């Protein structure tokens, strides 16, 4: 005796009409009639008195209908409880560099939250050194790092899109009149750079200069703070685009030429056991950006 057949029987009892029950269940009338006949043969009793299209429960049918209602109610409750026990709860911690690619992460967080509202996501803005240290200690589930970076210890997903390097400077600066800046334009200038390890080495590689001739007057972890230093006249900030909204502000971003770009990757330790919440986020992200999970 299958639950599907009991639901057919319950629908016929509620409608007392096979045609209406079939329409309600989106199955054919002959299917309902055949299943009811097989059910009566299996039980060895008559469940309905039939008078043409009119149906009436027999005494045995009344008793069986009451039992079926209890069986199906218990079944539905059991299934609901199983699903409730499987509801995913927990928290995820993501350490993130500042990048416009974070929009992909934010969109996946939003989709995950709608499907699993009891998962909480914690975002901590930091640099690559902070991400590495906290991934190693287990404080972070994931990190979002700027490329290039050593990912030999990590599983990773390269996020869509790239950011362009340039200079954040006051609109009143003579350099602000240019469409782009060459590396020579930075010579002799006071520059604020990211504290991320290897930025000066990257600049040497980009500019093909062994000894950059600008003056590093300050470093920053978060570009917003650097932008305030630029506004205060401390220097120009070497940074990527799309982080500071320069519309209706006293600052402007001018890109470097030749064009220098940086991508971002989501990283997590190889062999790390992900929590159900972290695993759910990772599956959501790979679906959203159409990439397979690393093996």
Task: For the chain, give the number of residues.
Answer: 295
In a 3-state reduction of DSSP, which class is residue 145? strand
Residue of 191, 171, 193, 172 whose CA lies nearest to 247: 171
Look at the pTM and tell me if it is higher than 0.75.
Answer: no
Q: Report phi then psi at 259, rounded to 5.
A: -60, 130
H helix count then E strand count, the chain:
9, 13
How far apart CA 169 and CA 176 sit, in angstroms, is 7
pLDDT tens-place values along the chain, 295 residues long: 788 888 888 988 898 888 888 888 888 889 988 998 998 899 999 998 887 777 889 999 899 999 988 898 888 877 766 666 567 888 999 999 888 889 999 999 999 999 999 999 999 998 888 899 999 888 899 999 988 788 899 999 999 988 999 999 999 999 999 999 998 999 999 999 988 766 777 777 777 776 778 899 999 988 999 999 999 999 999 999 989 999 989 999 999 998 988 899 999 999 888 998 999 999 999 999 988 877 6
For residues 234 and 246, the answer to whether their CB atoms sit within 8 Å is: no
- Taking CA atoms, 195 is separated from 45, 114, 135, 238, in Å, by 83, 36, 19, 11
- Could you tell me the domains of the chain? 3-85 (1.10.10.10), 90-161+264-288 (3.40.190.10), 163-261 (3.40.190.10)
Helix (H) or strand (E) holding 252: strand 251-255
């Amino acid at each position: 005796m299958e639950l599907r057949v009991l639901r057919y029987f319950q629908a016929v009892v509620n409608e007392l009409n096979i045609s209406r029950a079939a329409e309600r269940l989106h199955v054919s009338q002959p299917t309902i009639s055949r299943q009811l006949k097989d059910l009566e043969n299996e039980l060895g009793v008559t469940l309905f008195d039939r008078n043409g299209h009119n149906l009436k429960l027999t005494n045995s049918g009344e008793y069986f209908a009451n039992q079926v209602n209890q069986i199906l109610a218990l079944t539905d409750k059991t299934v609901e409880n199983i699903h409730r026990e499987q509801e995913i709860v927990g928290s995820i911690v993501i350490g993130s560099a500042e990048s416009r690619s974070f929009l992909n992460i934010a969109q996946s967080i939003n989709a995950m939250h709608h499907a699993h509202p009891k998962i909480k996501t914690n975002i901590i803005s930091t640099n690559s050194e902070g991400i590495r240290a906290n991934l190693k200690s287990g404080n972070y589930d994931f990190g979002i790092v700027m490329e290039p970076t050593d990912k030999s210890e990590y599983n990773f997903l390269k996020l869509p899109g790239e950011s362009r390097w340039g200079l954040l400077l006051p609109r009143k600066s003579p350099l602000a009149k240019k469409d782009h800046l060459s590396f020579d334009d930075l010579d002799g200038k006071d520059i604020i750079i990211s504290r991320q390890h290897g930025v000066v080495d990257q600049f040497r590689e980009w500019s093909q200069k062994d000894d950059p001739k600008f003056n590093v007057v300050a470093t920053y972890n978060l570009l917003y703070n650097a932008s305030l230093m630029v506004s205060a006249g401390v220097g120009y900030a070497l940074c990527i685009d799309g982080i500071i909204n320069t519309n209706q502000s006293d600052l402007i971003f001018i890109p470097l030429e030749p064009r220098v770009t940086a991508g971002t990757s989501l990283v997590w330790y190889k062999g790390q056991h992900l929590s159900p919440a972290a695993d759910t986020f990772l599956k959501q992200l790979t679906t959203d950006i159409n990439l397979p999970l690393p093996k």
